[in-house]
Structure 1
Amino acid sequence: MILLSAKGLKLAFGGVKAADGIDLDVRNGEFLAIIGPNGAGKTTFINMVTGYLTPQAGEIHYDGQPLVGLAPRRLVRLGIARSFQLPQLFLEHTVAENVALAIAAREGLWSPIRPLMRSAWRAEADDILAQFDLSDIAERRADTLNEGARKLTDIAMAVALKPRLILMDEPTSGVAASEKISIVETLVRVLRTAGVTAVFVEHDMDVVSRFADRVAVWSQGKIAALGPPGAVLTDPNVLRDVIGIETEAGHAAA
């Protein structure tokens, strides 16, 4: 089953084509990695799907429903969530309060004059934090967290929205190399258990090869390759243009 379908997406900023005829179907339940050099249009695609940018041409359908022109808040209500390259946390609040704020936003019930940590929201926040192995830091302020914990908290907030589809922009960006695999293992476990479909932009090829079901290669606003990691990540053109390896010369490309 196709959950998300993009057809003929085009968007240019001046003379730069950030999307130049993107066609992509995302299957229900899969983990799809998007890779490519900086400036290839990866984040632009996520921004178009999540309503932060409007394509100049093309269509986007989610579960058969057209999305172009809908505001980000409307897309959240439809079951689409996202996390950002720089975690969007309420730094003066605790980790538990951040997740409770996401729950309140989902329910549309919170206001500054009402208590945030009502019992039902706190119980749900605690359950979500336990899934992400974040219970031990539930009472810590977000501004005291390392980058790995911030990333997981950001994604926990997205999960609190109860999405069917989550789009993650570089979930391991800024995370210490020693933490990357364990962090992705955690988020993949949580998302797969919840049946959430995931599209994620990633630069770490070890993460992509381990966790992606399929890989889409972005190049100058187009999809240059699409398929399982084993095929895409051994493609000589991908190795040269995306990863920076000359397969014949056996050394990094200049």
Structure 2
Amino acid sequence: MLEARGLRLAFGGVRAADGIDLSVMRGEFLAIIGPNGAGKTTFINMTTGYLRPQAGSIHHEGERITGLSPRAIVRRGIARSFQLPQLFTEHTVLENAALAIAARLGIWSPLAPLLRREIREEARELLARFGLSAIEESRADTLNEGARKLADIAMAVALKPRLLLMDEPTSGVAASEKMAVVETLARVLRDAAVTAVFVEHDMDVVARFADRVAVWSQGRIVALGPPATVLSDPEVQREVIGVSGAIHA
């Protein structure tokens, strides 16, 4: 699904990507973990066109996408969500979903998608899949963080991607809500056959939902494999996770 080879990018003397090689398999959920500043978000930004690598290449389904604009990459079937939800806060959840659908259809008028019955119906169906029907008429700025995250990712899914990259989907979400949020995401994405790459700091979430885990450190991948293997590695626990004990599966 995605092939990154030899990615390099430095900001001054800081190597945010120092020879990244990574293959993402079709249909998998790949978690990216590592300390702050390790280059995790930089990788997502390079893959989605927000940053251009100084060396190396990125291919999606065999097609080179290195250096393309974010809009061009979206048209090729790749979407993303951000650590801070990117919602139109003055609009309702339904209107946000309708605007995302309109963007996929190439409709850029600010009012047309809100008036077209077929777009609103698709938006309602999408929100129902995310369990957001009860709040579809609520303004985005009134939502709690868990609902904001789901609405943000619903907008990305409205683009009908084959690959979705998520930057810390549980960041800011209350501990009591995290598992429910990720369970919803996993169900929707697997039902839609969307391959997912997600940056995550909650190791219980990683252990439960990831098929593979890639560990980032100083712009490099230092470990890659199944969660049970990677998360139980003493060096990963000590140097990356910052604990010295088992992660709950």
Q: TM-score range by the shorter chain?
A: over 0.9
Q: Secondary structure at the match of 2:185?
A: helix
**How far did 1:245 drift?**
2.2
The match for 2:119 is 121
Q: 2:233 aligns with which of 232, 235, 238?
A: 235
- Output the CA distance in 1 between the equivalents of 2:113 and 2:217: 48
The match for 2:54 is 56
Contact 1:110 1:116 in 2 (8 A): no
CA deviations on 1:149-188 (whole Å, 9 max, x unpaired) are: 0000000000000000000000000000000000000000
Distance 1:210-1:113 versus aligned 2 partners, 3 A rule: closer
1:130-169 to structure 2, matched below 5 A, reads: 130-169=128-167
Contact 1:91 1:143 in 2 (8 A): yes
CA deviations on 1:111-140 (whole Å, 9 max, x unpaired) are: 135352311101100000000000000000
116-125 or 228-237: bigger deviation:
116-125
The letter for the 1-side match of 2:84 is L
Q: Secondary structure at the match of 1:245?
A: coil
The letter for the 2-side match of 1:238 is V
Q: 1:35 aligns with which of 19, 33, 37?
A: 33
The letter for the 2-side match of 1:7 is R
**How far did 1:74 drift?**
0.6
Q: 2:8 aligns with which of 10, 13, 21?
A: 10
The match for 1:174 is 172
Contact 1:100 1:117 in 2 (8 A): no
1:92-131 to structure 2, matched below 5 A, reads: 92-112=90-110, 114=112, 116-131=114-129
The letter for the 2-side match of 1:143 is D
Q: Secondary structure at the match of 1:203?
A: coil
The match for 2:19 is 21
The match for 1:192 is 190
- Output the CA distance in 1 between the equivalents of 2:111 and 2:83: 32
The letter for the 1-side match of 2:209 is F
- Output the CA distance in 2 between the equivalents of 1:123 and 1:173: 30
> Which ranges of structure 1 fall in alignment gaps of 5 or more residues?
none
CA deviations on 1:1-23 (whole Å, 9 max, x unpaired) are: xx000000000000000000000
- Output the CA distance in 1 between the equivalents of 2:179 and 2:58: 32
The match for 1:206 is 204
User: What is the percent sequence identity of the aligned residues?
Assistant: 75
- Output the CA distance in 2 between the equivalents of 1:115 and 1:7: 40
Contact 1:60 1:67 in 2 (8 A): yes
Contact 2:99 2:113 in 1 (8 A): no
> Which ranges of structure 2 fall in alignment gaps of 5 or more residues?
none
Contact 2:107 2:113 in 1 (8 A): no
The match for 1:44 is 42
- Output the CA distance in 1 between the equivalents of 2:163 and 2:113: 30
**How far did 1:246 drift?**
3.8
The letter for the 2-side match of 1:73 is R
The letter for the 2-side match of 1:82 is R
The letter for the 1-side match of 2:197 is V
- Output the CA distance in 1 between the equivalents of 2:95 and 2:101: 10
The letter for the 2-side match of 1:95 is V
CA deviations on 1:78-102 (whole Å, 9 max, x unpaired) are: 1100000000000000000000000
236-245 or 185-194: bigger deviation:
236-245
The match for 1:226 is 224
Aligned length: 246
Q: Secondary structure at the match of 2:201?
A: coil
